[in-house]
């Protein structure tokens, strides 16, 4: 008996898939089809798959061509499967030509002709609403936005605006689909939604302008430095039917979300303490980050990241927060915050002029979670217990600049008319802005 194996995602099963399965089946007597698991697809950067793994397995089953269906979970599994199932032929579409030659060591590798003119990507694009996004503020952070948006479905970045046309050009020169605009009204006419990546103090004005024109807004963190203002902006957005989201990339990162979900489900018992740190020594002291008139300083610049695990796990109702800062030329080059909750303490450290170990430690009554530096781009964490045999390690992938996860959630909120994302609740974002304001007002503040 000749055994054949083939693999795929088989999302929105189409004629190309059916032809391929027929061709693979004709190569032998018994066909095994490997369908990729949802996590596996996400890990390899396929964020747009529509059908979940069960639906995709059912669709392959319905073709009647597979004698056996298995799930593909991890990189390297093909080598294991070929040996485990005693496979004679590995078959795959010609779009993979050469990519699986390494399997020749274990079985025959056949690249089958691909059906022209159809793919899951094409079907996803045809059936979805495309959200046209424009970039406001074309600096360093915004430069990373177009390539990240490219891997998310239902979004097209088509416009860029900056008060400095040279900055706009830096983006439009590298992306021919993005048109530069010098007139903001023309810019707004070309888009459904905006990504705001301007200096902190201009966020509020651009958010209001954008909402006023009925545009959805994804705004770089910190969205606002004032809780009252943040609250008003969210309610204004909802009144106008617009999505307003703070672009805190850690909040949307798959590993961070899994970490929070596991801790909430009791993996380390009751959380009693959180320590979160982040520091970045910048050599250029002339930048916006060091300018007190442009809301420079460590807390405004970096604070929303370490505040995230604290507010997500302990909530927004703390009893007290004390802030300790080393000030230099009108900005905090280092700030430490100390929270008292009814049954827990939490602390965070941020530094633009002081280097700290940038890790995250969450201590509970049964064990603790440890995320090494730089924890804010979480791709690995560990649960540690009294008995080291109980320790567990978890590994993930952080893709490129990590903006794709927040873009995907933003688009999903727009398409599903969801005003609030569970990954970063509006009340959590408002609380972050209140804490920034406490610092501005120098309340419970001590200079060191």
Which residues sit at the interface with ligand CTP, rule CB under 6 A? 8-11, 16-17, 20, 92-93, 95, 114-115, 118-121
The pairing of beta strand 368-371 with beta strand 360-364: antiparallel
Name the nearest CA neighbour of 361 among 352, 379, 350, 348. Answer: 348
The Cα angle at residue 228 between residues 224 and 229, in degrees rounded to 5: 45
Angle at which helices 426-440 and 227-239 pack, to 10 degrees? Answer: 150
Q: Which residues contact 201 (CB under 8 A, 6 or more apart)?
A: 225, 294, 295
Q: How large is the angle between the packed helices 254-264 and 304-314, nearest 10 degrees? A: 30
Q: How far apart are CA 234 and CA 388, in angstroms?
A: 46
Q: Of the candidates 186, 185, 192, 191, which has an alpha carbon nearest to the alpha carbon of residue 241?
A: 192
Q: Which is nearer to ligand CTP, 105 or 126 (CB)?
A: 126
- CA 247/CA 228 separation, integer angstroms: 19
Minimum Å gap between C-beta 96 and ligand CTP is 6
CB of 448 to ligand CTP, least distance (A): 54
Work out how close the CB of 21 gets to ligand CTP at its nearest, in angstroms, rounded to a whole number.
Answer: 8
Q: How far is the CB of 214 from ligand CTP (least distance, A)?
A: 33
Our CB check for ligand CTP shows the closer of 66 and 310 to be: 66
Nearest approach in angstroms of CB 422 to ligand CTP is: 27
Structure tokens at 290: 């060091």
CA nearest neighbour of 319 among 345, 356, 293:
345
Which pair of structure tokens corresponds to residue 291?
């300018």
Task: Provide, rounded to whole angstroms, the least separation between the CB of residue 182 and ligand CTP.
Answer: 37
Distance in Å, CB of 41 to ligand CTP, minimum: 9
Q: Which is nearer to ligand CTP, 18 or 184 (CB)?
A: 18
Of 72 and 229, the one with the shorter C-beta distance to ligand CTP is: 72
Q: CB of 116 within 8 A of CB of 94?
A: no
Q: Pick the closer one to ligand CTP by CB: 9 or 438.
A: 9
* CB closer to ligand CTP, 45 vs 330: 45
Query: Which residue's CB atom is positioned nearest to ligand CTP?
Result: 93
Nearer of residues 153 and 444 to ligand CTP, judged by Cβ: 153
Smallest distance, ligand CTP to C-beta of residue 170, A: 31
Residues 6 or more apart whose CB falls under 8 angstroms from that of 58 comprise: none
What is the C-alpha to C-alpha distance for residues 225 and 375, in angstroms, rounded to an integer? Answer: 24
Nearest residue (CB) to ligand CTP, 41 versus 302: 41
Distance CA(430)–CA(385), nearest Å, equals 35
Return the number of the residue (86 or 126) whose C-beta is nearest ligand CTP: 126
According to DSSP, the residues that pair with 369 across neighbouring strands are: 362, 383
Least distance CB 418 / ligand CTP (angstroms): 25
Longest dimension (CA), the chain: 79
């Amino acid at each position: 008996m000749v055994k054949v194996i083939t693999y795929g995602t088989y999302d929105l099963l189409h004629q190309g898939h059916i032809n391929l399965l027929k061709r693979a089946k004709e190569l032998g007597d018994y066909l095994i089809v490997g369908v990729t698991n949802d996590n596996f697809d996400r890990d390899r950067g396929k964020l747009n798959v529509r059908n979940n793994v069960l639906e995709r397995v059912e669709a392959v089953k319905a073709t009647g061509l597979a004698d056996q269906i298995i799930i593909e979970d991890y990189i390297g599994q093909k080598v294991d499967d070929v040996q485990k199932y005693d496979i004679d032929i590995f078959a795959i579409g010609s779009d993979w030509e050469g990519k699986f030659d390494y399997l020749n060591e274990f079985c025959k590798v056949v690249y089958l002709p691909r059906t022209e003119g159809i793919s899951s990507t094409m079907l996803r694009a045809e059936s979805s609403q495309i959200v046209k996004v424009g970039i406001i503020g074309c600096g360093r952070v915004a430069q990373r936005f177009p390539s990240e948006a490219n891997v998310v479905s239902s979004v097209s970045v088509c416009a860029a605006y900056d008060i400095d046309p040279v900055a706009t050009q830096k983006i439009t020169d590298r992306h021919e689909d993005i048109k530069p605009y010098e007139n903001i009204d023309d810019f707004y006419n070309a888009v459904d939604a905006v990504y705001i990546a301007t200096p902190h103090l201009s966020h509020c004005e651009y958010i209001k302008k954008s909402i006023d024109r009925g545009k959805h807004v994804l705004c770089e963190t910190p969205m606002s430095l004032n809780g009252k203002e943040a609250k008003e902006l969210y309610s204004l957005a909802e009144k106008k039917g617009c999505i307003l989201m703070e672009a805190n990339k850690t909040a949307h990162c798959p590993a961070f979300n899994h970490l929070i979900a596991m801790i909430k489900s009791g993996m380390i018992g009751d959380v009693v303490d959180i320590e979160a740190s982040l520091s970045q020594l910048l050599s250029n002291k002339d930048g916006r980050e060091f300018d007190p008139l442009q809301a420079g300083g460590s807390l405004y610049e970096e604070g929303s990241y370490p505040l995230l695990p604290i507010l997500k796990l302990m909530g927004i109702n703390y009893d007290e927060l004390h802030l300790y800062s080393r000030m230099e030329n009108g900005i905090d080059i280092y700030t430490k915050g100390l929270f008292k909750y009814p049954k827990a303490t939490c602390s965070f450290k941020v530094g633009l002029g002081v280097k700290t170990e940038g890790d995250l430690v969450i201590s509970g009554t049964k064990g603790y979670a440890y995320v090494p530096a730089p924890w804010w781009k979480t791709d690995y964490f560990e649960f540690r217990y009294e008995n080291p045999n109980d320790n567990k390690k978890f590994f993930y992938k952080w893709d490129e600049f990590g903006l794709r996860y927040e873009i995907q959630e933003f688009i999903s909120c727009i398409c599903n008319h969801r005003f609030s994302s569970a990954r970063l609740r509006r009340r959590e974002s408002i609380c972050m802005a209140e804490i920034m304001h406490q610092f501005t007002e120098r309340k419970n503040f001590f200079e060191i």
